Amino acid sequence: MHGKSALAALVLRSILILLVISSCGGDPVDNRRLNPDNPADCDVLMIGNSLTGWHDVPGLLQALCDAGGKSVFVREAIYPGYTLEMIVAGTGVFDEVALRNWDYVVMQGSNYEIAFPERQDEIIEPIEILAASIRANDPATRIIFFMDWAMKNGVTFDGRYYTFEEFQSMLRSGTLLLAGGMDFMVAPIGVAFGKVVAARPDIDLFAPDGGHPSAGGAYLQACVYYSVIFRESAAGLCVSGELPPEQASFLQGVGAETVLDSLAQWNIPSN
């Protein structure tokens, strides 16, 4: 759920939409994501709301991993309409954390307060609580913090309007500030969104509400996560989700370029 945007009420009422995705090898979604006993070399837990749930970002990531020959188990803990504060206060997220020793946990909350350093104290407590739980479960787990995108037509926050480009820049700097203080890795999804908006406006990354991801926006997220986790490009992987192959290929390249050109900036170790 986005913060105090004009569409906040709509986002809160939104129902999680999980759509079937396709790849060259057929339907990539299977019961491994639901089975905590599934063996894999790399275990990933994705915590978030409908910005992660729409068009099944976890399933897309699993499909990319499978196509890339990675032994990966992706599990989702998705709570539509919830902020991280609500997830921490009123869900079973701590049970999800305790299921196994995760290699990576994705933390996605989407409060627009993060764009304002002077307001980050309003959102930091649940982030600290969840991070402490993850690290207590396994100190070796690496936390990947989600960088949000601005709404398609800009953001009105506390009575002031910001263009997409203005607010995207604020989200970038604010996310890096908060994540740096918590020693989180960053998934620079908002930066990748900005690159696609500028270079390929024919690829609409937004759902009709202007805030949630379209099939393209979800696919781009999965490509970014793939490059964050493996320090590799998803380019050439035979998974296109709901997109034409040409568009999927372009988004694979943008996701990889955004992450791999700036590993240190996103606090991503090189190995």
The whole-angstrom separation of Cα 259 and Cα 270 is: 11
pLDDT value for 271: 75
In the predicted structure, residue 8 carries a pLDDT above the cut 80? no
Say which range, 7-11, 67-71, 203-207, has the weakest mean pLDDT: 7-11
The answer as to whether 61 is a domain residue is: yes
> pLDDT over 90 for what percent of the chain?
83
pLDDT value for 109: 83
The answer as to whether 166 is a domain residue is: yes
The answer as to whether 142 is a domain residue is: yes
pLDDT range class, residue 15, cuts 50, 70, 90:
very low
The answer as to whether 147 is a domain residue is: yes
* Assigned token pair, 131: 């991070």
Nearest to 214 by CA among 185, 251, 239, 253: 251
| pTM, to two decimals | 0.87
The whole-angstrom separation of Cα 218 and Cα 12 is: 19
Those residues whose C-beta lies under 8 Å from the C-beta of residue 169, and which sit 6 or more positions away, are none
Reported as a single tens digit per residue, the pLDDT across 20-37 is 223 333 333 334 445 656
**Mean pLDDT computed over every residue of the chain:** 88
Dihedrals phi, psi of 45, to nearest 5 degrees: -110, 125
pLDDT value for 270: 84
In the predicted structure, residue 76 carries a pLDDT above the cut 50? yes
**96: domain range?**
8-260
In the predicted structure, residue 7 carries a pLDDT above the cut 70? no
Tell me the CATH number at 116.
3.40.50.1110
Q: Are 173 and 214 in contact (CB under 8 A)?
A: no
The answer as to whether 22 is a domain residue is: yes
Say which range, 30-39, 141-150, 198-207, 211-220, has the weakest mean pLDDT: 30-39
In the predicted structure, residue 224 carries a pLDDT above the cut 80? yes
The answer as to whether 267 is a domain residue is: no
The domain tally of the chain equals 1
The answer as to whether 173 is a domain residue is: yes
In the predicted structure, residue 129 carries a pLDDT above the cut 70? yes
Q: Are 35 and 103 in contact (CB under 8 A)?
A: no
Bigger pLDDT: 168 vs 9: 168
Bigger pLDDT: 76 vs 25: 76
Q: Please give the average per-residue pLDDT across 53-81, as a whole number.
A: 97
Residue 78 CB coordination number (10 Å): 22
pLDDT value for 38: 66
Reported as a single tens digit per residue, the pLDDT across 156-210 is 999 999 999 999 999 999 999 999 999 999 999 999 999 999 999 999 999 999 9
Cα atoms in the 13 Å half-sphere on the side-chain side of 58: 29
The answer as to whether 209 is a domain residue is: yes
